[in-house]
Amino acid sequence: MLAQSVNSNRLAKSEGAHLGQRRVKLITGEFHTTHEILSHRHTLAPLLFNDQESSDFLLRLFDAKETREIWVHDFLLVNQSQLFACVFRKCEKQSNNCTNNNSICSKIPISMSFEGKEVRCVELNVPCITTFVNLLKWLYDHNDKAWMDTFTRENFQNVLENIAYLRLGMEAYDVCAEFYETF
């Protein structure tokens, strides 16, 4: 097995392995393939959420009130969000409607220094950081109940705006519909 360092991340890759076989080191010290993590996302993906050592990118979030940084893994996000697919795959073509602000995909990711290390950073001005972070957690683990527990009548519009901003699929809207039916 050939050890490989990507932006100071601890990843391992078998010779000839494709992306689905990329191995990621969890905070427990165990290595799992991306396929294993996706297949067991309820138990494995939460161990990766905001884990600097194994992440691919630093996600720097801005809204009207605050700024927050979260370490993310592209393989968990690109198949769920058109915006993340565009950003992480550095799409050149803006015709895929990844966002209303088409310039976002052409400017990121950027390289920056973080704690003395060179990292890839994605900066996004999101509708609401608080509900965005909860949405990111859901994208990692798909724990519908835990995500719905963060919804309130007051923040529900922000939740919907973040879903639209990320261009998520129907699964996210289905969780919102379940919450909406209760009030």
Q: Tokens 């605050």 — which residue?
A: 66
Report phi then psi at 152, rounded to 5: -135, 170
All structural domains of the chain with their residue ranges: 23-182
For 57, how many CA atoms within 13 A lie in the half-sphere containing its CB? 22
In this prediction, residue 178 carries a pLDDT of 95
Q: Which two tokens stand for residue 143?
A: 């724990």
Is CATH 3.30.710.10 what the domain over 23-182 is classified as, yes or no? yes
In this prediction, residue 153 carries a pLDDT of 96
Residue type for 182, please? Answer: T
Tell me the C-alpha distance between 73 and 139, whole Å. Answer: 11
The alpha carbon of residue 160 and the mean position of all alpha carbons in its chain are separated, in whole angstroms, by 17
Question: Mind listing the pLDDT tens digit of every residue in the chain (183 residues)?
Answer: 222 223 333 333 332 334 447 777 776 777 767 667 767 766 777 788 898 888 888 999 999 999 999 999 888 898 899 999 888 776 544 444 554 454 455 456 667 667 777 788 888 999 999 999 999 999 999 999 999 999 999 999 999 999 999 999 999 999 999 999 987
In this prediction, residue 120 carries a pLDDT of 83
